[in-house]
Structure 1
């Protein structure tokens, strides 16, 4: 994936929030019970789908509570070396050293990122969390890897919510596995 590590971010500018996510062809990011096993056949075959370059381009990770809880079931913490914030309305116990619980709203979180001089944050999983940032027009970039699987039901890419948003396609990558990665920027950004 040949793209600048940072896309137009200037020091002091509002941090970029990137929704980088895999979704089934019918628009689900997980099964109804939060399962992502359907992604397993596409992992570990010598192709990282641009993940390493993307991960190197971010400064922080933003997760919803359910995504965080799922990450705790993995053998290793999947976001090493990056400060992470877990959004939850209720206080929760955090066991990872670089992870912080937050109940901030999206604008407060972006201001915190800016105060810490973190310029690019990955919004991980959580259709509801994505909608809360999208509703405030705080997602500057969408990178969606469309996986050639139809789940039929599950957790949608975006939970129901407004407003409608126009996007500009700036990059596509098709992989031999059938995954197509689409990169969009906000059309009015």
Structure 2
């Protein structure tokens, strides 16, 4: 069975985006944090995206390695992003590119099917999609990189749950700029 990992940068008050889908609160990540995320992406065998995150990622990373001033890590991230298979879940877009396929039907059924297979871990991103997977009990690991900023409102990382989920702390690490990363595994 494949592991499903939900990880993102978030504010100290728990938001992945401020009002208006603003993600500018995080600023550019430190080299160390970007490298850490790159290693996670390279270890993933499949990326699952909700529509909004797909639109954000696909607007930059297909050509991220050709941007002026791109660092070696950004070049590697862009190439890895293009090469990694992706599944986009949306009922409002008609097509996707860059090694991705579109699922317009039951996201939970498809994620459950994908988890049942063998292979490298899968990453899931996008608050709505990840929230549905969270409520269905499909998330195996949570990775949160907490930035020292409060935005007061926006898109929360965690969704409302019907029952308690017990977690085990797997890792903590501090990065430049006061970013604290924590990894938690779901206790089964």
Unaligned 5+ segments in structure 2 are 65-77
Q: Which residue number in structure 1 is paired with residue 22 of structure 2?
A: 35
Distance 2:24 2:186 in 1: 31
SS in 2 for 1:137: coil
With structure 2 as the length reference, what TM-score do the two structures score?
0.81
Contact 2:30–2:175 at 8 Å: present in 1 too? Answer: no
Q: Larger % of helix: which?
A: 2
**1:91 CA displacement:** 5.0
Distance 1:168 1:18 in 2: 14
The change in CA–CA distance for 1:159 and 1:89 in structure 2 (over 3 A counts) is: farther
Q: Which aligned pairs between 1:73-152 and structure 2 lie closer than 5 A?
A: 73-74=59-60, 76=63, 78=78, 79-90=81-92, 92-94=94-96, 96-102=97-103, 103-112=105-114, 114-115=116-117, 117-124=118-125, 126-152=126-152
With structure 1 as the length reference, what TM-score do the two structures score?
0.80
Unaligned 5+ segments in structure 1 are 1-13
Count of residue pairs brought into register by the alignment: 171
Q: Which residue number in structure 2 is paired with residue 169 of structure 1?
A: 169
SS in 2 for 1:122: strand
Distance 2:56 2:11 in 1: 19
Q: Which residue number in structure 1 is paired with residue 158 of structure 2?
A: 158
SS in 2 for 1:33: helix
Contact 1:128–1:158 at 8 Å: present in 2 too? Answer: no
**1:57 CA displacement:** 1.3
SS in 1 for 2:10: strand
Question: Deviation per CA, 1:121-146, whole angstroms, max 9, x where unpaired?
Answer: 0012x222112111121100111101
Structural RMSD (CA): 2.1
Contact 2:144–2:181 at 8 Å: present in 1 too? Answer: yes
Contact 1:113–1:119 at 8 Å: present in 2 too? Answer: no
Distance 2:136 2:33 in 1: 34
**1:45 CA displacement:** 4.0
SS in 1 for 2:27: helix
